[in-house]
């Protein structure tokens, strides 16, 4: 069975040449999680798992995650895969929405190669989460078809 083709992900060097830095990642993460928390599809999951008092810590950890993954400038020592296994109701509709919102945020706030890099990484991480969630489900090992892109809003 053929899988939908994914656009290639630009190398980090191309994003750095466009100005990718910690401040840009900070702006993307802050804007994305503002939108995500208020969103009708994924907001309820965040509100159920991250109390108001812990929201700033959550956003800072995700910023560390991206800075660590793309710039190597911060030590992120979390286990994001495990965290997402414990979230009931995390299904394809939620992933599609998360990715659409993230794509919108990156495209709005970043130069083109940087946006493509962030979007490509987010989609690959989301697919890895989905496979892992499926493997831990009652259905046993399955490889879900990659998600198609959903427009936002
Ligand atoms: C519908 C999709 C998603 C939802 C609803 C969601 C929700 C959440 C929630 C509720 C947490 C906090 C968990 C906890 O502290 O117990 C979390 C943590 C996190 N998420 Fe997601 N997530 C989604 C997809 C993603 C994707 C695609 C990425 C990466 C590209 C991501 C990256 C992270 C990271 C880095 C953390 C921090 C883990 C830590 O504390 O070390 N999430 N997410």
Name the DSSP letter for residue 51.
-
Mean of pLDDT over the chain: 93
The whole-number pLDDT of residue 1 equals 47
Name the DSSP letter for residue 91.
-
Q: Note the CATH number of domain 12-135.
A: 1.10.490.10
Mean pLDDT, residues 105-121 taken together: 98
Q: Spell out the long-range contacts of 138-145 with Cβ–Cβ below 8 A and sequence spacing 24 or more.
A: 144/92, 145/1, 145/3, 145/4
The whole-number pLDDT of residue 142 equals 73
Reported as a single tens digit per residue, the pLDDT across 124-134 is 999 999 999 98
* Closest C-alpha residue for ligand 1 atom 16: 83
**Where do the domains of the chain lie?**
12-135
| Cα distance between residue 138 and residue 141, in whole Å | 9
**Ligand 1 site residues, Cβ closer than 6 angstroms:** 42, 45-46, 49-50, 58, 61-62, 65, 78, 80, 83-84, 87, 90, 94-95, 98, 122, 125-126
* Closest C-alpha residue for ligand 1 atom 43: 84
Pseudo-torsion of CA 118, 92, 127, 28, nearest 10°? 20
Mean pLDDT, residues 25-47 taken together: 97
| Cα distance between residue 130 and residue 116, in whole Å | 21
Judge contact between 4 and 148, C-beta under 8 A: yes
For residue 139, pLDDT beyond 90: no
Q: Which residues are CB-contacts of 6 (< 8 A; sequence separation ≥ 6)?
A: 120, 123, 146
For residue 76, pLDDT beyond 60: yes
Atom of ligand 1 nearest to the CA of 122: 30
| Cα distance between residue 120 and residue 85, in whole Å | 22
Query: What is the Å distance from ligand 1's center to 130 Cα?
Result: 12
| Cα distance between residue 103 and residue 150, in whole Å | 10
């Amino acid at each position: 069975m053929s899988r939908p083709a994914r656009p290639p992900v630009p190398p980090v060097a191309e994003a750095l040449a466009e100005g990718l830095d910690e401040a840009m990642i900070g702006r993307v993460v802050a804007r994305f999680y503002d939108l995500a928390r208020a969103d009708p599809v994924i907001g309820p999951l965040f509100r159920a798992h991250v109390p108001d008092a812990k929201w700033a810590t959550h956003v800072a950890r995700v910023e560390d995650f991206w800075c660590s993954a793309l710039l190597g400038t911060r030590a992120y020592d979390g286990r994001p895969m495990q965290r997402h296994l414990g979230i009931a109701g995390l299904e394809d509709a939620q992933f599609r929405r998360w990715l659409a919102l993230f794509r919108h945020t990156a495209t709005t706030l970043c130069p083109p190669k940087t946006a493509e890099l962030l979007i490509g990484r987010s989609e690959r991480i989301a697919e890895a989460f989905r496979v892992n969630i499926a493997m831990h489900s009652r259905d046993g090992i399955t490889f879900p078809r990659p998600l198609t892109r959903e427009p936002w809003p």
